[in-house]
Copies of this chain bind each other. A is one copy, B any other.
Amino acid sequence: MLSVGGSPVARNAGHAIECDPIPTVSERAGPLVFSEEIRNELIENGSITDPKSPRGVVLNTAASLFRHKGYLQTTVRDIGRETGILPGSIFHHYRSKDEILRTVMEESIILNLTRMKRALEQSQGLEAKLRTLIAVELYATNGETGEAWSVMVGEWRNLSDEAKADILKLREEYEGIWLGVLQQAQAEGMLTMEPDILRKLLAGAMHWTPTWFRAGGGLSLDDLTDRVMILATGRRD
């Protein structure tokens, strides 16, 4: 029997920030996709913030706090205390708390959208592509960007309307990629049900994994990818 952590409820309970181990890279989804390469590339061309800069320090600290305490429970003073920057100074780097939230979400989806596209380019055959979708999303959810990704899923309602509109475009592009592959997979009789319904059920299943899945336990991210693949295809190979 595999150990997969405590009950989802108990897992959710703590407010303290735990430093969970980051899952290992999935070889089958393309070894380069989860490397630092893509991230560094995006930092270099200015698409995402350099984590070493003050802006980046604030950003990553905030993402972690938002994830573990919730956006509304996290005060600007909390971010200040954790970064060693006084509360007032935060607003030199960001216009508002909302802008921090927006940036956390925006950059996490930019990074993962890029990873998704690159990984798909490297995947040949529909089955491989499907597995890539799942592996990348599970890595987005539980890997290094896990905190930011969870914030995007869970704190959506706290975004300002303008920020929602912007990020929605990126999310729709992301969903479009999913649906495209799923529709092809269905055409080949690979799926257990309609692509749009399947996508939403799988999305829910994967969004929920951070509440119970821990890297370093008996279950690896690759194992988890296998299980979600089974949900999608019905086949247990």
Give me the interface of A with B, judged by CB distance under 8 Å. Answer: 1-2, 4, 7-10, 12-13, 15, 69-70, 72-73, 156-158, 161, 164, 168, 171-172, 175, 192-194, 196-198, 200-209, 211-213, 219, 224, 227-228, 230-231, 234-236
Contacts and interface: CB of A to CB of B under 8 A. Distances in A.
16 contacts: A4-B196, A4-B200, A7-B171, A9-B172, A13-B156, A15-B157, A70-B157, A192-B230, A201-B205, A201-B208, A202-B205, A204-B207, A204-B209, A204-B211, A231-B231, A234-B236
B8 A203 contact: yes
A5 to B, nearest CB: 9
B197 A4 contact: yes
Contact of A205 (B164, B175, B204, B234): B204
A209 B47 CA distance: 33
Main secondary structure of the interface of A (DSSP, over half): helix
A228 B72 CA distance: 33
A230 to B, nearest CB: 5
Given A72-B73, A192-B234, A10 B168 contact: yes
Given A4-B197, A202-B205, A156 B192 contact: no
Contacts of A203: 8, 208
Given A4-B200, A234-B234, A236-B234, A193 B227 contact: yes
A202 B231 CA distance: 9
Given A2-B194, A13-B157, A201-B231, 7 more contacts: A15-B157, A192-B230, A197-B219, A201-B209, A203-B208, A204-B207, A234-B236
